[in-house]
Every structure is written in structure tokens, then in C-alpha cells.
A and B are shown apart, each in its own frame.
Chain A
């Protein structure tokens, strides 16, 4: 270390000057805090916070439409003299706004995953205390949390509004108290499945546009194909096709959790998605379990995806 003092001016070809930079010796918050920061950043991005005007407007529009049915229900409930008026029931809610949910998943998943890839910040993240698995899970968690605002939130809003609108609010809450855990369970399952599937699809797409279209195509195409095929082909094997459509499975799970799987008749096959799910005639607990399994498998695949070269 201690070498002879360089003689000034005597052929010192190169010197590194002390510009006053210092190392950091203070406390470090560590990996968990970094992970939390990434999660918070991604959730903020999902709603356009800290971004330009358009992402904000877009998130607001989708949020608004996701809440529109709850709002209509509340307004009608308040205006109409009928007690216990029901414009939309909680078990049907997600089915009615499913296009909006899919659009949200497509837009946000392609954004929070694709941006890091497009701007080459992914390599920067991985050279920090954040590990690859952390990154993948933080992104999934962020999308899932964002989705909660479009699913559980309007449901809770509707629940609160219905309670306030009832002639005896407390009575109403007491009678319907079992709805609360149902709302939360069904919503959380949906968010987990959609969030992990969305990130999975987006993480494989090179370009943002491609990611967006792929998410939409996969969710809606499977939904449409399964719907048409089940209603047009009277064949026992077709029962299994239902599992190919995440939107059908969500319908099944939600209806099972609300104990509202429709009764089966000969027209069920050609009916609403919930009827088709009922027609498939699997034990009801299969649906939430299938959603959970989907989430686990999709998350594992995302983790695997980021362990490879990205």
C-alpha cells in the first residue's frame, strides 16, 4: 500500500485524483425494503401515478367502468321505493365487467413488465439486492393489488350502499354479513389468477403491443371458443374444455363461493357462462381450487421465466 510518494512532475503518466467521493457506511435497509419499493412503484405505475396524463386517464376510465354497475345499483336503490332492490347481484358482478378486467390486466401487465424490458432497466434491477425471484413476485403482487381496486372495491361499495339504502341498515348487515368474506375470497382468488396469468403472458412478449394483444386474445378467445364449443357440441368430453377458459373458471369459483351455482337443465349448455359451468357438473369446490392452482403454476412459470436469460 504505502509506496513512495510520486515525485510531482517527474514522469507521473497517470494519476487518479481524490474528488471527494465517499463510500456509504451507514445502515442499509436490505433486500426486503428494495422489494417493497419495487412493489409500490409498480402499483403506482398501474394507476398512472408518477406517469404522464394518458396512463392516469386510462386507469381512471377503467376504474370508473369497473365501478359503474355498483354506482348504478346504488343510485337505483336510492331512487326506487322498492326495498332490497337488486339491479346486479354480487355473484354476477365479475362476469359483467370481465372485459374491463381483461383490458386492465392487458394494459397494466404489459406496462409494468414490458417497460423494464424496453428501457433495459431490468439488468439494473438484477444488479441490485433485488433477486430475480423477488422481481417476478413483486410484479405479480403489484398487478394483483391493482386488480383488487377493480373487483373487491366496487363490491364493497355496493355492499355498503345496499346497507345504507335498506330500511333498517343494521338488520340488513346482520342478514347479509356472510357476503363480506365471500366478496373478499372470490375477489382475491380472481385477482391472484388474473394477475399471475397476465404477468406470465406479458413476460414472454418482446414488445408492449404484442403483450397487450396476447393477453386479450388468450383470455377472450378461450372464453369465446369454450362458450361456442360447449353450447354447440353435446358431448361429455366437452365438460373438460371449461377449464381452458379462465373467465369460465372465475365464474364458477365466484358462484360457488356465493353458493349460487345455477341449477342445471337441458338448456344450461347453451346458457350463460355460469350455466355452462354448472352444466359441466364438477364438484363446486373444484372451481376456487382450480383458480388457486392456476395462480401457483403461473407464478412459478413467471419465476422460472426470469431465472433464465431475459
Chain B
């Protein structure tokens, strides 16, 4: 049973292109507040967001936004705002005129006023009358956001909204989204950058290879991510002697000797890094190299989907 507060509801949704599966059996619900959709490039984040905003038909499954199916339902946009990922804008319009056109297309009673407020929210007043063709990436991003929230949407969907923004703009946009969320707006944004999601989202959905890999409270997931087994590669003067010593440590789950290398698997990143120096000294070998084998974000993600 879905709670009353659910604004967006995704049920067993899959989407494939020919024989490529982009989104694979994903279900979740969104409530007011900020949710981050996190995943590496090509994970299916955009596909998911496009389906939620009615620009892609789910191959199977149901998506409802504010109680109605999103596919083939333009009326939904009365209370939904979308910031697409594509950078292109109408080059001949200024941000103000762009937001105003958006307000008029929404049929708002006072489009000038609505556009003015939206531009103020993204702090783009300085450049509001210059044609957007000459904008920087960050300015375009903000102009797009202004146009998307001109009608005070209940649900705001943003595809990679921080692309091209500088750190200061990013903070400012985050602050704005937080304020909207505190006013009861349901914000869903995608990002492939862990830190962005960490700083903004209280709730997180992790998508890897089209599947939902994790969801829920961010801190909880972050802990799960760091507590996974880690692999280190070592080169020493005597691999075998060190291997013997390491096997004795409680958090070392496996050691493997290859031609010139010693691979060590540990269940506790912190404890292992603290203990390794002592173990090396005690066994009397010389450590020539020590490095983690899999520290990329992608490897964290693939750990989460268990591959």
C-alpha cells in the first residue's frame, strides 16, 4: 500500500530499446522532499526521468505522477516542472523572455510577474535580457530551471542540473532546491557525482546498469558502500612472508599470490590501512607498492549490484 503522500509512483517499470535494456524492473515512490537519482553514465537515469515526465513510454510497468499516468498526459505539466539535460535553448530569447513564454504557455494569469519571480529565484537578473545564445553553461542551466519552476510546480524533475555550473552557483541552486522542498515540493534530480547527491539529497536512488541498486537514506547507503570488501595490490620483497602474516589479521578475508603481486581482500577498509604498516614491519619485508584495486565510482556501483 502506498502512503497518501506519494507524489510519484513507479511500479515495476522497464524500458528497452531493441534488445538493449535501459531500465530494468524498477519500483519506487517519491514523497515531498529532495531525492537524488545517482548512477554512472549510461545507467538509465535519463531514461527513468524521461519516463516519469512522459517523454518515453515504459515498455512495461506503470508510472503515475500526482495520481495520473504520465505517458500521453500533457495536462500533468500544470503541476510538474521539467529541466531537461540537453543544453540547447532558444538562442534568440533572453532568460526573462524564456521564462515569460513558459508562463504564457502555462496560461498563468500574470506571466510577467511569474517570470520575474522565477528569474529572481535562480539569481539571473543581471543577464535576464541578453539573448541566451551568448550564455555560459551555468547560466543556461539556471535559465532552464527558471522556466521550469515559473508555475510553482508540485513536482520538479531535473536531469543533471549541476552540469556546467561553477561551485558558487551550485551552492546557490542547492539552497534554492532545499527551500522549494521545505515548501512541500517534490524534487527529483539526477547526477553521476556522489558528492552532489551527498550534499543535497536526503533520499537517494542508486541506478546501475538499469537496475535499482540501492534506495533510502543517503548516510545509510554511504556506510554500506564503504563497508564493502576492498582489494589491495601489494608488491614487496617477500610476498609469501607478508601473505602469511596478513592472513592472521581478523579483517582480511582472502590473500592471493600471483607472479609478482600479492592481492589482499579486506572487509574493513579503515582497520586494514591502520594495520598494514605494523604487519609489514613485524614480518621484516620491504613494501614497494600498495594500492587499492577498485576505487572508481563504477566499481562501487558494480559492487552494489553484486557483480
Contacts and interface: CB of A to CB of B under 8 A. Distances in A.
Direct contact, A vs B (beta carbon within 8 Å):
yes
Interface of A: 8-9, 17
Contacts of B286: 8
B291 interface: yes
Interface string B24-53: 000000000000000000000000000000
A9 B277 CA distance: 10
B289 interface: yes
Contacts of B56: none
Contacts of A9: 277, 287, 290
A96 B93 CA distance: 48
A17 B291 contact: yes
Interface residues of B, number: 7
A9 B287 CA distance: 8
A8 B290 CA distance: 9
Interface of B: 277, 286-291
A189 to B, nearest CB: 44
Contacts of B277: 9
Contacts of B290: 8-9
Contacts of A17: 289, 291
Contacts of A8: 286-290
A8 B288 CA distance: 5
B286 to A, nearest CB: 7
B5 to A, nearest CB: 45
Question: Could you say which of B277, B287, B288, B290 has the most chain A C-beta atoms within 10 Å of its C-beta?
Answer: B288
Nearest to B289: A8
10 contacts: A8-B286, A8-B287, A8-B288, A8-B289, A8-B290, A9-B277, A9-B287, A9-B290, A17-B289, A17-B291
A8 B289 CA distance: 6
A244 B286 CA distance: 83
A114 to B, nearest CB: 19
A9 B290 CA distance: 9
A9 B235 CA distance: 12
A8 B286 CA distance: 8
B86 to A, nearest CB: 16
A9 B291 CA distance: 11
Nearest to A5: B288
Nearest to B235: A8
A17 B288 CA distance: 12
A52 to B, nearest CB: 11
A20 to B, nearest CB: 12
A8 B277 CA distance: 11
B231 to A, nearest CB: 15
A65 B287 CA distance: 74
A201 B287 CA distance: 65
B70 to A, nearest CB: 29
Contacts of B289: 8, 17
A73 B289 CA distance: 79
A9 B286 CA distance: 10
A9 B234 CA distance: 12
B166 to A, nearest CB: 25
A104 B291 CA distance: 58
B181 to A, nearest CB: 39
What 7 A-B pairs are tightest by C-beta distance, nearest first? A8-B287, A8-B288, A9-B287, A8-B289, A8-B286, A17-B291, A8-B290
A113 to B, nearest CB: 23
A149 B286 CA distance: 71
Nearest to B288: A8
B287 to A, nearest CB: 5
Question: Could you say which of B277, B286, B287, B289 has the most chain A C-beta atoms within 10 Å of its C-beta?
Answer: B289
A135 B131 CA distance: 38
B289 to A, nearest CB: 7
Contacts of B288: 8
Nearest to A17: B291
Nearest to A9: B287
Nearest to A12: B289
A13 to B, nearest CB: 14
A9 B289 CA distance: 8
